Structure 1
């Protein structure tokens, strides 16, 4: 544990971490003593029948966030001033992504050490996505926020060495260190593969994230080529998928991924946009499932490319590779790789070095 008072500013409920962003934040929180930690979290109202927003508790301040970007921006500015007393009581302010730039700026004005947790370039995330809204919000405004966040912070931490290089491209004088995107491997059960040939594949992800929805569209094209195989899509937002073929099963949001990974023979992650280390790839490996993905899917974890059970292919080759794959019973090497390189203990060790650096 780290002996320093830390304020973390983030989006989403850290008490219910779903998706790569919040898993990242919740793991950083595990590295800090409870008595030394404060969290300010902005949460939008849930969609459909999701749970209502939880109230604040002793260490967590919960703020309702507008879905309108203009009003959200005003709220961030207002609350950075309103909660300046929490910043004053902290030694370090960590803001989770350039959206929370006002808190980083307030931290610097109050003489605090400020860390920008770089969750990936907003411009990089937008590559492959189309539309005027994407261009204005992500490429123009998002790109500007990314640069300002890197300039204002005493230190930027990135989830991989590749993302650290992206930070340097944003601003050459940036101080940046890698703090890996870890997952809690000990809480993920390891399952042996039940079959010799693939019959069922899984993709797990929140489909309200534009990159995940685009990935599912790619998956559907693969599924059309393989009508005898079953494809499980697990995650919130299933209503966004229009007209999937009969062999694509939309499971929606579930309480636990465990039974679905146990049922599946392999993971399919045909992602072509986005940035940062992909949590779903690490999770798949930790569960002991071989993963079929793209160059984009393996970014930040390139060392895994040589492992048995990791298939990095082009989209047009994916169907052929799946047809020809011969499965092994236990992919222990995949789980060991994640535990040795991307566990929470590795994250905490690197975060400690970052705090000592500033």
Structure 2
């Protein structure tokens, strides 16, 4: 049996997070079936072939492959667009990837089953279903607006603040945009056969009429736990290129100056820090790390902090931290997926 997996992000090499999960799943399936993974997006075009597993990445150097390019847009504008949900709608087109013509030039032959990692608007699935009779499965990752507004009223009570009229207007905008974004997402799906990798996503998708939704626990291969001594005074923070992560980074820089007996590590996207003198000696800006360094850092850390405001599917970094038996500080946006 031949399987095709489509995904709008480069998994060569498999980075911690969704990429690692998709690579692990494809590798496991290749033990029984002939598996081809076709990806597109950032990075140079490349191929990997390993027995029954073939991974083809069509990078930004490929001809006319539609990819997302947010680097030219100022960060604060992206934050506003995320808040209103506007950016999610053009994302379907921006991340659509190779055309049917480009796909046919790859000469990959017939496929029994094709699986797409949503959220994108690629047309290959519909072509395969119509002309090859390929069975289609959507590997759904529910996409929507950041979750922080869902808990706004609770925070207002907690901080003894009353809701202003402008806040009520934003609530209405948020509800309308949430429905619009979800409608665009559902309209992009090519099949009513859907696999969800979180219980939360399953509950959301089951509300759609005629959808057959199955929940399958995510597959991971974090390997054996390394024999690493945990530093009882070590705190690891996963950063990202969004407003919440940048604000959290400023807080952690401040806290690190107050708690001199603790070592703070920030991995992932590192925002620009205007005042370099504000970085104390116990504050370590690691940036993006290779797999081995990343796993070692988790192993050494005593506490993991993930102040995320949005996420889809199973949050792999949380799962890995749990695998290491680490205490986790996170938000309801991430915890709800579990």
Give the TM-score normalised by the residue count of structure 2. Answer: 0.68
Give the CA deviation at 1:18: 1.2
- Size of the alignment, in residue pairs? 274
> In structure 1, how many angstroms separate the alpha carbons of the residues matched to 2:143 and 2:274?
27
Give the CA deviation at 1:141: 7.4
Q: 1:242 to 1:277 in 2, by over 3 A?
A: farther
2:185 to 141, 146, 150: 146
> SS state of the match for residue 99, structure 1?
coil
Alignment deviations for residues 180-223 of structure 1 (CA, whole Å, 9 cap, x no partner): 2232132542645443xxx2210235x24x3xx62452354366
Instruction: Please tell me whether the aligned partners of residues 237 and 265 of structure 2 are also in contact (alpha carbons under 8 angstroms).
Output: yes
Higher Cα Rg: structure 1 or 2?
A: 2
Q: 1:297 to 1:220 in 2, by over 3 A?
A: farther
Counterpart residue number, 1:307: none
Counterpart residue number, 1:21: 18
What are the within-5 Å matches in structure 2 for residues 28-39 of structure 1?
A: 28-33=25-30, 36-39=34-37
Deviates more, 1:264-273 or 1:217-226: 217-226
1:105 maps to 2:126: yes
> In structure 1, how many angstroms separate the alpha carbons of the residues matched to 2:329 and 2:37?
37
Q: 1:76 to 1:263 in 2, by over 3 A?
A: closer
> In structure 1, how many angstroms separate the alpha carbons of the residues matched to 2:121 and 2:222?
29
CA RMSD of aligned residues (A): 3.5
Counterpart residue number, 2:210: 173
Give the TM-score normalised by the residue count of structure 1. Answer: 0.65
> SS state of the match for residue 257, structure 1?
helix
Counterpart residue number, 2:335: 298
Give the CA deviation at 1:8: 0.7
Q: 1:157 to 1:242 in 2, by over 3 A?
A: farther
Instruction: Please tell me whether the aligned partners of residues 5 and 115 of structure 2 are also in contact (alpha carbons under 8 angstroms).
Output: yes
Give the CA deviation at 1:273: 2.5
1:160 to 198, 202, 215: 198
Give the CA deviation at 1:26: 0.7
What are the within-5 Å matches in structure 2 for residues 1-358 of structure 1?
A: 4-33=1-30, 36-45=34-43, 53-57=44-48, 59-65=54-60, 66-68=67-69, 73=93, 76=96, 79-84=99-104, 89-110=110-131, 111-119=133-141, 121-125=142-146, 142-150=181-189, 152-169=190-207, 171-189=208-226, 191=228, 193-195=230-232, 199-204=233-238, 207-208=240-241, 210=242, 214-215=244-245, 217-218=247-248, 220-221=250-251, 224-225=254-255, 227-228=258-259, 229-235=262-268, 237-240=269-272, 246=280, 248-255=283-290, 256-301=293-338
> In structure 2, how many angstroms separate the alpha carbons of the residues matched to 1:61 and 1:153?
24
